[in-house]
Amino acid sequence: MNKQYELNSNVLVLRVKKAPLFVRSVMFFFSFLFFLLPLTGMILAITMGKGMHFGFIIGMFVFGVLGFYMLRISLLNTFGKEIITFENTNITYIADYGWFKDGKKQKEYEKPLKYTIRQIGYKEDNEGGLVIELEEPILCVTKMPNAELGELIDILNDLYITQ
């Protein structure tokens, strides 16, 4: 079984498990459909002589937001990873979606850091996400088995002790 995390010196990379191919293809199909349908409808209405009206702009905005959100979820389930960089007193968190990266979050901290597991999904699944306890905690969205998370937390705690 491949580990979902990779730790190189001060950079922690958490990789999201890929969803099944069918699920990803359906998600990509609907996300692109959300972009294409309002545009196609507007072009057809204009060519049929009904003209341009404000409803088209509202429709394109609403479907554009929905399409962008669905595309983001699709990319996360295909190429997603979280990159956490530990520096002297700063932590940098980046969510990488493959085609683009989410806004960089940079937070200061005082040693020692505390790591916990946040339960995700059903309790029987024994899966959770890593939480880095700060004034405003960093909640990782990568769903990992609790045993693997416990192993990662032990490694992170050991790294701090040896530094």
Which token pair is 12? 């922690």
pTM of the model: 0.76
CB atoms within 10 A of CB 14: 24
- Structural domain count, the chain: 2
Determine the average pLDDT of the residues in 27-37: 91
Regarding whether 126 and 96 lie in a shared domain, the answer is yes
Determine the average pLDDT of the residues in 112-118: 83
Regarding whether 99 and 37 lie in a shared domain, the answer is no
85 within domain boundaries? no
- What was the pLDDT predicted at 2? 76
Which token pair is 159? 């790294």
- What was the pLDDT predicted at 160? 60
Determine the average pLDDT of the residues in 117-139: 83
Regarding whether 95 and 51 lie in a shared domain, the answer is no
Which residue range(s) make up the domain with 158?
A: 91-162
Flag whether pLDDT at 1 surpasses 60. Answer: no
Flag whether pLDDT at 156 surpasses 80. Answer: yes
Regarding whether 63 and 114 lie in a shared domain, the answer is no
Whose CA is closest to 150, among 122, 105, 112, 117?
117
Determine the average pLDDT of the residues in 69-88: 87
Whose CA is closest to 32, among 3, 58, 63?
63
Confidence band of 162 (pLDDT split at 50, 70, 90): very low
Regarding whether 105 and 48 lie in a shared domain, the answer is no
Regarding whether 148 and 123 lie in a shared domain, the answer is yes
Domain boundary among 29, 50, 77: 77
Residue 61 and residue 41: Cα distance in Å, rounded?
Answer: 14
Regarding whether 154 and 103 lie in a shared domain, the answer is yes
Determine the average pLDDT of the residues in 19-39: 91
Flag whether pLDDT at 110 surpasses 60. Answer: yes
99 within domain boundaries? yes
Which token pair is 155? 């490694």
